[in-house]
Structure 1
Amino acid sequence: MLPLLLLVIANCFMTLAWYGHLKFLHDAPWWQAVLFSWCIALFEYSFMIPATRMLAQAQWSMGQIKISQEVITLIVFVPFMLLWFKQPFKLDYVWAGLCLLGCVYFVFRSQG
């Protein structure tokens, strides 16, 4: 459970690093946006690396780790997009989420 929580925290930082500059530094030169993002990404790595190491030590495959991370990315990104950037909700996000659940099923089914 701890590695998944760390992945959620890491994703919050990475989403902010990737897209936060569009809201907070939209008039700044690109190099300032890059520095802003790199500074935030350092925190992301501080959570992502331990999480992936823990999952690997728990015998998760690389595919299982990556697909789980992608599901968490969608869980973090959709509220970020809707609340901070006031983007409209589309049913396509639900379909994308269901596709990812299918991915989760296929990468974990041989574990049963």
Structure 2
Amino acid sequence: GGSGGCEGGIAELAFESVIKAGGIASEWTYPYVSHSGDDFACKFDINGTKNAVAPVANFTSYKRLSHNDYSELMTAVATVGPVSISVDASSWSAYESGVYDGCNMSSPAIDHNVL
């Protein structure tokens, strides 16, 4: 769901944006600006023209895996590459180190994607 951008959304919206733009910039060249930042102008340009940011990575397709299928997820990580997962991160603010075990198993509110 969601509409993307500051309105939130699903990983597929981000993937489609990267495919349409012809790539994605690095954090180093295009740092995060919070919702209260002053400049929302897109600096990305596939050609890397002056005052623009050139892409450093690209992909042309993606595959949606089954929901909550551990075996399929592990196979994808081992044979395909990085995966994006959707998680309930509402209790992550207190996390400091080690194996996280604060998952809300009864009524998760999915609110973040992790690559």
TM-score by shorter chain over 0.5:
no
Higher Rg: 2
Query: Larger % of strand: which?
Result: 2
TM-score scaled by structure 2? 0.23
Query: Larger % of helix: which?
Result: 1
TM-score scaled by structure 1? 0.23
